[in-house]
C-alpha cells in the first residue's frame, strides 16, 4: 500500500513538472477609462475544459497553467462590449495582458438576472433584453419608465398625459388579452411588487432586464404572463472604500407647441358664418351679407359683451393664461462601500417638477438602502425602498376645456385688476384661470417595499434561499370644488371628496438552488425548486360632503358639510405556487432549459384554481463550432428556441361569485337601502392561457464591434376572459366566461455598433432597435364573427376603429347626390358609400386605419460620442404607422359656432377650397366623427446631452475623484404631421359632461433645458 501511494505521488510530481514545462502564467487588468472593473470574466478561447477566472475588486486577474503558444484571450462583463486580444504564452514564464472595455447597451455576454437567480448570458435561452444605469439616467423624469421608452425592442411604453407625475402604459410584445390585464410584473431584487416604477428610487437602479418570452418569464407563472421587468439595485463595493456620489439636475420647461386658436376677428367671422348656416331663419337672413355689413348679423352672433370687446380690440389668448414656465429639479445622494464580507449602499432623492400648466405640480422623496453580508456559507441581504409622492393634479384635462372653448372676446381682468368670472354672456363658460384655481385636487402616495433574503450553502453548489418581500402602499386622493368653477357658477358653497386606498401585500419564496460543473466544466447544471405564496389586501374608503363652510379646510372636516356620503370596499386575494427549473449546458456550447410552474389563484372558481404551466428552450453557441472558426469577422453567434405556456387570472376579486349590488327603495316618502343580484356566478371560470413560441439569434462581428439580436415570436391566447351577453329575461346583462382566442406575431431587432473605437481620439458608438407586432382576434364568444357593440371582429386586431370613411366635403356640383344619399348640403362632411346602394347607412361603416395600440413599427436610435473630456449623446425614438382618433380635434374643432375653435380653413360658398366643414350652429351632423382619424406617426428627439468630465487635478481641488458637468435638452424636437399638441398623449380631451378632475388625460407637451453635475467623492 505504501509503495502504491509513493508511486502515485511521484507520478503527480512528474505530471506537474511536465505541465509547468508546457504552460505559463497570465496576469493583467480589466478596466474602463483607467478604472478597474471587478467581477469581469476572463477566459482563454479554445481551451477545453474552458480555462478562465474573474477579476478582483481592483479589476486584476491571474490565470495559471495557460498552454504555451499563441492564444486568444477574452474579457467580458455585463454592460460592456467583450474584447478578445492575442497573447503569446511562453512555458514557465508570466505574460501580461490588459483589457480596456467599452460600454455597450445591448449585451451578449455577462450575467443576467432571470428570476430566482442569475445566468451567464451565454447560457440564456429565452428572450431577455437589458439596460444599464447610464441608459436610465439619460432621461430625467418623474417616472423611470420614461427613461426606457423606445429603448428595448418589443416593449411599447406610451403616456396618456404630459402632466407631472402622470402614469404610463406598458405592453411587452403587444396586447393579447381583451378584458384581463396586459400589464407586466415588476420584480425588485428578486421580489415581485405591485404598482409601478414610480415607487422605486430611480438612482438606485443598477440595471433592468426584461423577460419577454415564456421560457424566460415562466418561472413567475401567471404573474409573468405579460412579461417581467426585473430591477436589480446598486450594491456597495468590496474594496474597503466608501464612496459618496452627488447627482443634481435643474432646468426649465416650456410648451413645445401651442395649438393655434382663432383670434378675435377670426372668431367673430366664424360665429357669423355659423349663424348664416344655422337653422334660425332670422339669423341666417341677418348674416347673409356679414362680410360687407356685419352689424345686423352681430345682433345674433355676438352678445353685447363680445361686441364691445371686439370694438375695444380685446383679443385674449386663454391658452397662454393657463401656461407658465415649468421647472424640473432632481437631486440624488448616494453612499456606498464595503469589504469582502459586508457591502452597503444608501440613497436619498428629491425630485420637484413644476408643470407648465398652472395648478399642476409633482414632487417625490425617495430613500433606498441595502446591505449584503457574507459569513462563511451564509448570505443575508436586506433592502428597503421608500417613496413619498405628492401631486397637485388640479382639474386635469377639464381645465383646457375652459381655456380652448372661451372666446378671445372675453377679458381676463377688469379695470381694477380683479378677475372677471364671466368673461362673456355665455352661460356655460367661466374664467379659465378662476376655474382652474378654484378646483384643488391633491394625490399623496406613500410606498414602502422591503426585500429580506437569505441563503445558506448546504453542500457544494447547493443553496437554500428564503426571500420575503412585504409592501405597504397608502394613497389619499382629495378634491375640493370651489364656487368659482363652471360646475358651481360662483354660487353656493364648496364640495369635497376624500378617497383613501391601502394595499398590504407580501410574497414569501423558499427555494433550493443547485449550480455545479462536472468533468472539467464539460457539464454545467443549474436547478431550482421553489415554493411560493403571495397575499394581496386592499382597503378602500371614500367620503364626500356638500356645502362646506370654508374652502381652506379642504377635505379634512367633511362632517361640517351637508349630505355626507360614505363608501368602501375590502378585497383579499392570494396565490400559491410550486416551480421547478433545470438548465443544462454541455461543453459551454449546448444549453437546454425546462421549467414547470403549478399556480393556484384564489380569484378563479372552485375546481379551476390551479393549473400547470410548462416551458422549454434550447440554446446553441454556433459560433463556437469548429466549422465556424474560419468565418471572417464572426465573434459570436447563438441560436435560441423556446416554447412555453403561461396563464392570466388578472380579473377582479370575487368575480366568479354571485355578488349583490346596493339599491334604493322608496317607501312612504323615505328612501331605504336594499340589495339586489348584481352579477351571475360562473363556477366554471378558469385560467386564460397563452402559448408562446420564440426563435432568436444573437450575433457579433469584428470582436463585438457589431453586435445584436433578432427575435421572432408567436403567441396564441385562448380561453379569453370575456363577458358573454345574456337575454334580458335572465335578469342579467352578461356573464364572465372563458370564450374566444387571439394571436400575436412579432419581430424584434437590436443592434449595437462601435463605429470608432477608443484610441483614435474620437469614440463613437450607436444603439439601434426596431420592432413590429401584429395581433388579431381568432374567435369570439358564441361563435360570433363580429361583436359590433364591443368593437371586436374576428380576423382584425384587438383594438380597431370602426366608423364611416371620410373622403372630403360635399361640393355645390354634388348638391343633388348629397341630398339623396344622406340629406347633406355643400360644405358638409362626405363619407364613402362603400356598398354602393346610393345611401349612407350603418352598413357603410368599415375598419379605419391602424389603431393607436398597433403601430407598424417602433424603435430608437442612440448615438454616443466622446472626444477627450467631452461627451455627446443624442437619443431619438419613433412610433410609426398608426392612426389616432383625435378627440382633441373633435372637441376643439367642432365648428358649431358657440365656442372658440382651432384656427382652420373652413368651407364657405365664397371659399369652396376650404378643407374643413362649413360652420353651423346645428353642428357637423352624424358623420362628424369620421374626420377625426389622423396619422399619429412621429419621430421624437428625446434627449441631447453634452458633458464635460473634469481632469483628475481639477476634480481633486474639490476633493472629488470624478466630476462631470453637463447640459441637456429633453424632448426638444418632434417630427410629425399631427396638428395638435402631441400625437402620443396630447390628442386626448377631457369629458366635458363631467366637471370633476380628470388627470392623466392629454395636455400640452413640453421641452426642457437642463444643467447638471455628477460628482464622486
**Is the preceding peptide bond at 146 cis, omega within 30 degrees of 0?**
no
- Specify the range with the lowest mean pLDDT, choosing from 65-69, 776-780, 819-823, 976-980: 65-69
Cell of 979: 396638428
Q: Name residues whose C-beta falls within 8 Å of residue 342's C-beta, 6 or more positions apart in sequence.
A: 371, 372, 373, 374
Q: Name residues whose C-beta falls within 8 Å of residue 221's C-beta, 6 or more positions apart in sequence.
A: 577, 579, 597, 598, 599, 613, 646, 647
Which is nearest to 200 in space by CA: 209, 213, 214, 189? 189
For the chain, the distance separating the N- and C-terminal CA atoms, rounded to the nearest angstrom, is: 64
Mean pLDDT of 243-253: 94
CB 159 within 8 A of CB 348: no
Cell of 223: 404573474
Handedness of CA 91, 94, 100, 104 (dihedral sign): positive
Angle at 125 (CA atoms; ends 119, 129), nearest 5 degrees: 75
Pairing label, strands 670-677, 721-725: unpaired
CA distances 300 to 703, 753, 1015, Å, are 78, 67, 67
- Specify the range with the lowest mean pLDDT, choosing from 42-56, 360-374, 382-396, 846-860: 42-56
CB 394 within 8 A of CB 442: no
- Specify the range with the lowest mean pLDDT, choosing from 43-52, 342-351, 636-645, 779-788: 43-52
Helix (H, G, I), strand (E, B) or coil at 281: helix
Assign residue 319 a region (left: φ > 0; alpha: ψ between -120 and 50; beta: otherwise).
alpha
Instruction: Band the pLDDT of 48: cuts 50, 70, 90.
Output: low
DSSP 919: P
CA distance 998 to 993: 11
- Specify the range with the lowest mean pLDDT, choosing from 21-30, 53-62, 407-416, 455-464: 53-62
- Specify the range with the lowest mean pLDDT, choosing from 679-688, 761-770, 979-988: 679-688
Res 4: pLDDT: 42
Check whether 759 has a pLDDT greater than 80: no
CA distance 952 to 964: 11
- Specify the range with the lowest mean pLDDT, choosing from 308-317, 553-562, 753-762: 753-762
Q: Could you tell me which residue, 408 or 952, shows the higher pLDDT?
A: 408
Check whether 696 has a pLDDT greater than 50: yes
- Specify the range with the lowest mean pLDDT, choosing from 81-95, 105-119, 560-574, 898-912: 105-119
Check whether 740 has a pLDDT greater than 50: yes
DSSP 109: S
Cell of 277: 348656416
Instruction: Band the pLDDT of 2: cuts 50, 70, 90.
Output: very low
CA distance 386 to 790: 41
Res 994: pLDDT: 78
Q: Name residues whose C-beta falls within 8 Å of residue 372's C-beta, 6 or more positions apart in sequence.
A: 235, 236, 338, 342, 343, 344, 379, 380, 381
Instruction: Band the pLDDT of 103: cuts 50, 70, 90.
Output: low
Check whether 11 has a pLDDT greater than 60: no
Res 476: pLDDT: 97
Q: At what angle are helices 304-311 and 264-276 packed, to 10 degrees?
A: 140
Stretch (H or E) spanning 818: helix 815-822
Instruction: Band the pLDDT of 440: cuts 50, 70, 90.
Output: very high
Mean pLDDT of 206-226: 86
Res 314: pLDDT: 96
CA distance 267 to 895: 11
DSSP 716: E
Count Cβ atoms within 10 A of the Cβ of residue 88 and give its class: 0-12 exposed, 13-18 middle, 19 or more buried.
exposed
Instruction: Band the pLDDT of 106: cuts 50, 70, 90.
Output: very low
Residue 763: CB atoms within 10 Å: 19
Q: Which residues pair with 54 in a beta bridge?
A: 41
CA distance 700 to 694: 20
Cell of 970: 429633453
Check whether 725 has a pLDDT greater than 60: yes
Res 850: pLDDT: 92
Check whether 387 has a pLDDT greater than 50: yes
Which is nearest to 566 in space by CA: 540, 541, 548? 541
CB 555 within 8 A of CB 480: yes
Handedness of CA 889, 891, 892, 896 (dihedral sign): positive
CA distance 104 to 130: 10
CB 144 within 8 A of CB 167: no
CA distance 492 to 486: 12
Res 20: pLDDT: 42
pLDDT digits (tens, 9 = 90+) for 14-28: 334 444 457 888 999
Yes or no: domain 23-100 corresponds to CATH 2.60.40.1120: yes
CA distance 219 to 467: 15
What is the average pLDDT score of the chain?
Answer: 89
Task: Go through the chain and tell me how many residues it has.
Answer: 1017
Most confident of 111-115, 287-291, 699-703: 287-291
The CATH class that applies to domain 111-241 reads mainly beta
CA distance 489 to 494: 11
**Buried b or exposed e, range 578-599, using 16+ CB within 10 angstroms:** bbbbbbebeebbebebbbbbeb
Cell of 471: 409592501
| Radius of gyration of the chain, Cα coordinates, nearest whole angstrom | 33
Check whether 112 has a pLDDT greater than 80: no
**Buried b or exposed e, range 44-54, using 16+ CB within 10 angstroms:** beebeebbbee
Cell of 311: 370694438
Res 657: pLDDT: 79
Pairing label, strands 857-867, 378-392: unpaired
Mean pLDDT of 666-680: 78
CA distances 811 to 628, 840, 936, Å, are 69, 17, 28
Find the Cα–Cα–Cα–Cα dihedral 444, 142, 331, 77, rounded to 10°. Answer: 130
Residue spans of the domains in the chain: they are: 23-100, 111-241, 264-322
Cell of 675: 340589495
DSSP 843: G
Pairing label, strands 168-172, 205-211: unpaired
Find the Cα–Cα–Cα–Cα dihedral 262, 266, 267, 273, rounded to 10°. Answer: -130
CA distance 579 to 381: 23
pLDDT digits (tens, 9 = 90+) for 881-891: 999 999 999 99
CB 248 within 8 A of CB 330: yes
Cell of 424: 362673456
Instruction: Band the pLDDT of 104: cuts 50, 70, 90.
Output: low
Give 517's Cβ-side CA count (13 Å radius).
Answer: 10
pLDDT digits (tens, 9 = 90+) for 915-943: 999 999 999 988 999 999 999 999 999 99
Amino acid at each position: 500500500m505504501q509503495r502504491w501511494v509513493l508511486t502515485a505521488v511521484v507520478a503527480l510530481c512528474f505530471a506537474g513538472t511536465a505541465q509547468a514545462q508546457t504552460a505559463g502564467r497570465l496576469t493583467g487588468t480589466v478596466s474602463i477609462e483607467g478604472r478597474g472593473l471587478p467581477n469581469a470574466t476572463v477566459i482563454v478561447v479554445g481551451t477545453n475544459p474552458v480555462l478562465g477566472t474573474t477579476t478582483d475588486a481592483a479589476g486584476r486577474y491571474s490565470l495559471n497553467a495557460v498552454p504555451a503558444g499563441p492564444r486568444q484571450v477574452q474579457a467580458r462583463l455585463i454592460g460592456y462590449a467583450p474584447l478578445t486580444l492575442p497573447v503569446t504564452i511562453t512555458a514557465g514564464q508570466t505574460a501580461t495582458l490588459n483589457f480596456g472595455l467599452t460600454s455597450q447597451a445591448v449585451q451578449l455576454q455577462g450575467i443576467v438576472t432571470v428570476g430566482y437567480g442569475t445566468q451567464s448570458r451565454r447560457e440564456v435561452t429565452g428572450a431577455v433584453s437589458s439596460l444599464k444605469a447610464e441608459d436610465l439616467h439619460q432621461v430625467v423624469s418623474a417616472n423611470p419608465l420614461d427613461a426606457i421608452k423606445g429603448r428595448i425592442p418589443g416593449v411599447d411604453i406610451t403616456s396618456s398625459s404630459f402632466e407631472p407625475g402622470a402614469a404610463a402604459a406598458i405592453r411587452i410584445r403587444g396586447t393579447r388579452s381583451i378584458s384581463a390585464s396586459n400589464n407586466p410584473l415588476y420584480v425588485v431584487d428578486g421580489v415581485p411588487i405591485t404598482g409601478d416604477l414610480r415607487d422605486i428610487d430611480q438612482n438606485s437602479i443598477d440595471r433592468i432586464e426584461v423577460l419577454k418570452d415564456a421560457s424566460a418569464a415562466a418561472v413567475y407563472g401567471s404573474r409573468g404572463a405579460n412579461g417581467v421587468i426585473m430591477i436589480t439595485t446598486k450594491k456597495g463595493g468590496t474594496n474597503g472604500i466608501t464612496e459618496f456620489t452627488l447627482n443634481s439636475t435643474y432646468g426649465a420647461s416650456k410648451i413645445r407647441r401651442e395649438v393655434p386658436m382663432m383670434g378675435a376677428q377670426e372668431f367673430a367671422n366664424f360665429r357669423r358664418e355659423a349663424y348664416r348656416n344655422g337653422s334660425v331663419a332670422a339669423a341666417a337672413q341677418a348674416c347673409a351679407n356679414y362680410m360687407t355689413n356685419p352689424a345686423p348679423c352681430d345682433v345674433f352672433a355676438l352678445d353685447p359683451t363680445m361686441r364691445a370687446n371686439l370694438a375695444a380690440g380685446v383679443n385674449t389668448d386663454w391658452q397662454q393664461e393657463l401656461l407658465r414656465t415649468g421647472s424640473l429639479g432632481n437631486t440624488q445622494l448616494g453612499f456606498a462601500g464595503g469589504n469582502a464580507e459586508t457591502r452597503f449602499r444608501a440613497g436619498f432623492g428629491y425630485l420637484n417638477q413644476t408643470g407648465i400648466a398652472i395648478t399642476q405640480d409633482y414632487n417625490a422623496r425617495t430613500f433606498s438602502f441595502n446591505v449584503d453580508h457574507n459569513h462563511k456559507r451564509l448570505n443575508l441581504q436586506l433592502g428597503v425602498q421608500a417613496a413619498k409622492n405628492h401631486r397637485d393634479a388640479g382639474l386635469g384635462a377639464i381645465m383646457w376645456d375652459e381655456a380652448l372653448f372661451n372666446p378671445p372676446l372675453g377679458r381676463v381682468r377688469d379695470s381694477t385688476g380683479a378677475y372677471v368670472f364671466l368673461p362673456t354672456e355665455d352661460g356655460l363658460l367661466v374664467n379659465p384661470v378662476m376655474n382652474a384655481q378654484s378646483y384643488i385636487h391633491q394625490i399623496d402616495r406613500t410606498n414602502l417595499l422591503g426585500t429580506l433574503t437569505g441563503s445558506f450553502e448546504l453542500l457544494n453548489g447547493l443553496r437554500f434561499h428564503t426571500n420575503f418581500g412585504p409592501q405597504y402602499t397608502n394613497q389619499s386622493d382629495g378634491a375640493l370644488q370651489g364656487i368659482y368653477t363652471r360646475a358651481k357658477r360662483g354660487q353656493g358653497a364648496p364640495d369635497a371628496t376624500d378617497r383613501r386606498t391601502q394595499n398590504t401585500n407580501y410574497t414569501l419564496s423558499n427555494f433550493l438552488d443547485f449550480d455545479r460543473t462536472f468533468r472539467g466544466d464539460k457539464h454545467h447544471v443549474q436547478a431550482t425548486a421553489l415554493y411560493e405564496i403571495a397575499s394581496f389586501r386592499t382597503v378602500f374608503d371614500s367620503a364626500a360632503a356638500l356645502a362646506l363652510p370654508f374652502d381652506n379646510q379642504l377635505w379634512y372636516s367633511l362632517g361640517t358639510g351637508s349630505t355626507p356620503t360614505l363608501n368602501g370596499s375590502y378585497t383579499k386575494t392570494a396565490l400559491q405556487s410550486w416551480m421547478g427549473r433545470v438548465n443544462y449546458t454541455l461543453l459551454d456550447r449546448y444549453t437546454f432549459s425546462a421549467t414547470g410552474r403549478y399556480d393556484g389563484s384564489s380569484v378563479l372558481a372552485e375546481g379551476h384554481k390551479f393549473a400547470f404551466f410548462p416551458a422549454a428552450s434550447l440554446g446553441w453557441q454556433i459560433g463556437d463550432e469548429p466549422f465556424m472558426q474560419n468565418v471572417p469577422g464572426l465573434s459570436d453567434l447563438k441560436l435560441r428556441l423556446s416554447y412555453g405556456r403561461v396563464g392570466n387570472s388578472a380579473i377582479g376579486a370575487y368575480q366568479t361569485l354571485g355578488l349583490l349590488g346596493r339599491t334604493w327603495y322608496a317607501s312612504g316618502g323615505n328612501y331605504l337601502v336594499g340589495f339586489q343580484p348584481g352579477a351571475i356566478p360562473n363556477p366554471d371560470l378558469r385560467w386564460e392561457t397563452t402559448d408562446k413560441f420564440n426563435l432568436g439569434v444573437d450575433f457579433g462581428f469584428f470582436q463585438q464591434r457589431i453586435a445584436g439580436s433578432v427575435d421572432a415570436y408567436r403567441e396564441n391566447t385562448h380561453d379569453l376572459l370575456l363577458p358573454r351577453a345574456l337575454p334580458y329575461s335572465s335578469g342579467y346583462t352578461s356573464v364572465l366566461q372563458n370564450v374566444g382566442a387571439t394571436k400575436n406575431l412579432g419581430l424584434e431587432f437590436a443592434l449595437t455598433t462601435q463605429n470608432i473605437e477608443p484610441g483614435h481620439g474620437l469614440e463613437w458608438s450607436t444603439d439601434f432597435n426596431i420592432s413590429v407586432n401584429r395581433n388579431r382576434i381568432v374567435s369570439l364568444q358564441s361563435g360570433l364573427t363580429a361583436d359590433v357593440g364591443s368593437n371586436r371582429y374576428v380576423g382584425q386586431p384587438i383594438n380597431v376603429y370602426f366608423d364611416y370613411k371620410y373622403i372630403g366635403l360635399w361640393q355645390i356640383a354634388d348638391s343633388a347626390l348629397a341630398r339623396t344619399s344622406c340629406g347633406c348640403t355643400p360644405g358638409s362632411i362626405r363619407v364613402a358609400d362603400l356598398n354602393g346602394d346610393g345611401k349612407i347607412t350603418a352598413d357603410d361603416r368599415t375598419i379605419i386605419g391602424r389603431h393607436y395600440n398597433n403601430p407598424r413599427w417602433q424603435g430608437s436610435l442612440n448615438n454616443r460620442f466622446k472626444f477627450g473630456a467631452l461627451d455627446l449623446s443624442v437619443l431619438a425614438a419613433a412610433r410609426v404607422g398608426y392612426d389616432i382618433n383625435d378627440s382633441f380635434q373633435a372637441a376643439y374643432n367642432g365648428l358649431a359656432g358657440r365656442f372658440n375653435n382651432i384656427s382652420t380653413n373652413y368651407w364657405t360658398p365664397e371659399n369652396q377650397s376650404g378643407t374643413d366643414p362649413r360652420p353651423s350652429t346645428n353642428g357637423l351632423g352624424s358623420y362628424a366623427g369620421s374626420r377625426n382619424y389622423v396619422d399619429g406617426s412621429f419621430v421624437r428627439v428625446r434627449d441631447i446631452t453634452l458633458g464635460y468630465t473634469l481632469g483628475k487635478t481639477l476634480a481633486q481641488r474639490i476633493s472629488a475623484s470624478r466630476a462631470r458637468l453637463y447640459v441637456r435638452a429633453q424632448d426638444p424636437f418632434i417630427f410629425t404631421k399631427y396638428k395638435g399638441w402631441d400625437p402620443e398623449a396630447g390628442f386626448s380631451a377631457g369629458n366635458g359632461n363631467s366637471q370633476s378632475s380628470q388627470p392623466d388625460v392629454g395636455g400640452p407637451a413640453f421641452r426642457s433645458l437642463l444643467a447638471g453635475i455628477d460628482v464622486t467623492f
